[in-house]
């Protein structure tokens, strides 16, 4: 199984793509803005993982800046 996420600025283009996917027999799910942002944030967090252990104090110090 593959998942494709397409962001469109045009409702008419989105509608056309959804109709095409359904005609091809594929499942379509439209994500609201909040879910889309959550997915992108999760992706960014995964990409920025360093594997280093950081103390609570150093995190709080950075947040206070």
Q: For the segment 42-60, what is each residue's pLDDT rounded down to a tens digit?
A: 999 999 888 889 899 999 9
Q: Give mean pLDDT, residues 12-24.
A: 97
CA distance 19 to 9: 17
What is the Cα–Cα distance from 48 to 51, expressed in whole angstroms? Answer: 9
Reported pTM: 0.59
Residue 18, pLDDT > 90, answer: yes
For residues 25 and 29, what is the distance between their CA atoms, to the nearest angstrom?
13
Would you state the pLDDT for residue 27? 95
- Read off the pLDDT of each residue in 8-19 and give the average, rounded to a whole number: 95
Query: For the segment 27-45, what is each residue's pLDDT rounded down to a tens digit?
Result: 999 999 899 999 999 999 9
Q: Is 26 left (phi over 0), alpha (psi -120 to 50) or beta?
A: beta
């Amino acid at each position: 199984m593959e998942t494709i996420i397409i962001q469109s600025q045009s409702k008419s283009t989105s509608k056309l793509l959804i109709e095409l996917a359904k005609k091809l027999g594929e499942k379509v799910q439209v994500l609201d803005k909040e879910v889309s942002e959550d997915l992108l944030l999760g992706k960014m967090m995964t990409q920025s993982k360093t594997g280093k252990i950081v103390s609570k104090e150093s995190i709080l110090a950075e947040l206070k800046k």
